[in-house]
Structures are given as structure tokens and as C-alpha cells.
Amino acid sequence: MAQIINGKLVSAEVREELKAQTQELFEKYGIRPGLAVIIVGDDPASKVYVNNKEKGCAEVGFYSEVYRLPEQTTQEELLALVDKLNKDDKIHGILCQLPLPKHLDENAVILAINPEKDVDAFHPVNVGRIMIGDYSFLPCTPAGVMRLIESTGVDITGKECVVIGRSNIVGKPQAMLLLHKNATVTICHSRTKNLAEVTRRADILVVAIGKADFVTGDMVKQGAIVIDVGMNRKADGKLTGDVDFASVEPKASFITPVPGGVGPMTISMLLTNTMTAAKNAIIK
């Protein structure tokens, strides 16, 4: 039987650390880390994420601003706001909630954010820094996964790690972070042949596909650590992961549940990046 990795608990630990650091920063320098979040339009899921980010800031004592812009906002208006926030000393981190409405160019917005304030770590400068292992900001979801793996106390060095999924926001940076911790890393995707053969080699299996209950017990090595990044809505509205918990849990040594695993970590890692950005701004 696997030990359950409790993402809520680990996330709460991260926020406690951040609270203490916020207080220290304020006492020493009179500065609070500041996060600006931009949301364009009325996407219900995005609204929930943005509200949670705002709440997260309040919880750890950060300064925050939320810009809720109408659907018909133009590219020029959005870029002008990013430019204003780039120049604002109270703001250490800027995040534009994706996806944007179709008429807006997401790439142009990502490029417009000052890399020193790019707390999502989506700017090519930060992506490149992650590649060479010289980074301030960790991409939030993969960073949360690393923290969860670390919470098991298992040393990543030399482990066979398999990541299923090669997206720019999860799979690819996840593989890089594991590599920087000296794992032997394999990345799988929709064209991978004999997927189960590859996944059965994994001491640590990270699954980020977006297909409910895709990974089953027969695809997992006895004693593996299994991290489920997937967030899928079932017909009954319930949230479920990419891993079939019922068949995988008996084989795994550690496993993350959905909900309550990777999900709660992502915003905590965003807050961690904002703290890092504030500290970097002080050092300058």
C-alpha cells in the first residue's frame, strides 16, 4: 500500500515559510513582495484561479493587484498595462492568466513581461535559464512536483524518472528539473511506442497528459513514486487525475491523490517565485 503524498499539507508548509520570510523582509527593508495578476474576459476556470492567487497573496502577507479586464480589451491596452507594471517598484511579479481571448497574442504578452518579474517562468529568457540550470524562477507546477517528491525523503539522484507529457508548462520543464537533480530522465508523449514498457522502468513516474485514469497498475513498477499532475472533470463534475488511483496505489510506494496532490502546490510555488523576485529586486 502506498503512502499518500498530501499536497495540501506540503503547500501549507510552503506558505508558513513564506509568511515568516514576508515578515522578515518587511522588518528589514519595509518591503512586501507584490504580485500583479491580469485576467482578460470571463472564463469561469480562470476566474477561480485568479481569485485563489489573490487569496494566496493575502494569506502570506503579500501586496497584490488584480486587473480584471473586459473581453474586448485590445492588444495595445494589454501591453500598455504590462509596461506600466514592469516599471512599478511595488510589483515584483506579473502574471497574465492564460488562455487569453482568441484576438489577443499570448506570446507577445509573455515576451512583454520583464523576465525579472516573470513569476510564471514562461518568458524564453527564463525557459533558457531553466535549461542551463541557472535560474531564479521555477515553473510553478513542475516546481510543486519537485517539492512533493522531496517530501518523501527519497533521493532523486540516479533514479529512473519517466515523465509522460511534453508540454512547455509541465512535461518539458519537469524533465529538466529532474535532470538537474541527477535523475536519468525519459520523456514520453503521444507518439511513444510501447509506453507501458517505458513507464514500468520508472522509479519516479510523473504523469501530465490530461486523460482521466490513463495510467493503470500494469504500467507501474512495484514501489514506484507516482505523481499525478492531471486535472480532468468527469461527467459528474468530479475532479480526477491521469492515474487510475485504484489500480496504481497498491503498487506504488508513494502516490499523489487528485484532488489534494499537485493542485494545491502550484499557487504556493507562484508565491515562492514572487518572494524570490522581491528578494532579487532588493539585492539589485
What are the residue numbers of the active site? 53, 97, 120
User: Please, which residue, 98 or 179, has the CB nearer to ligand NAP?
Assistant: 98
Q: How far apart are CA 34 and CA 32, in angstroms?
A: 6
| Least Cβ distance, residue 155 to ligand NAP (angstroms) | 24
The answer to the question of residue 188 lying near ligand NAP (CB under 6 A) is yes
> Applying CB under 6 A, what is the total number of residues that bind ligand NAP?
25
Please, are residues 33 and 63 in contact by the beta-carbon 8 Å criterion?
A: yes
Q: State in Å, rounded, how far the first CA of the chain is from the last one.
A: 50
**Three-state SS for 206?**
strand
3-state helix/strand/coil string of 77-138: HHHHHHHHHHCCCCCCEEEECCCCCCCCCHHHHHHHCCHHHECCCCCHHHHHHHHHCCCCCC
Between 139 and 178, how does the x/- string for binding to ligand NAP read (CB under 6 A)?
Answer: --x----------------------xxxx-xxx-------
User: In terms of Cα–Cα distance, which of 154, 247, 263 is closest to 203?
Assistant: 154
Using the rule CB under 6 A, give the single segment among 24-32, 86-94, 186-194, 272-280 that binds ligand NAP.
186-194
The residue nearest ligand NAP at its CB is 167
Site residues for ligand NAP, 241-270, by CB under 6 A, read 262-263, 266
Site residues for ligand NAP, 72-101, by CB under 6 A, read none
Please, are residues 115 and 125 in contact by the beta-carbon 8 Å criterion?
A: yes
The answer to the question of residue 229 lying near ligand NAP (CB under 6 A) is yes
Residues of this chain that bind ligand NAP (CB under 6 A): 141, 164-167, 169-171, 188-192, 195, 208-211, 229-232, 262-263, 266
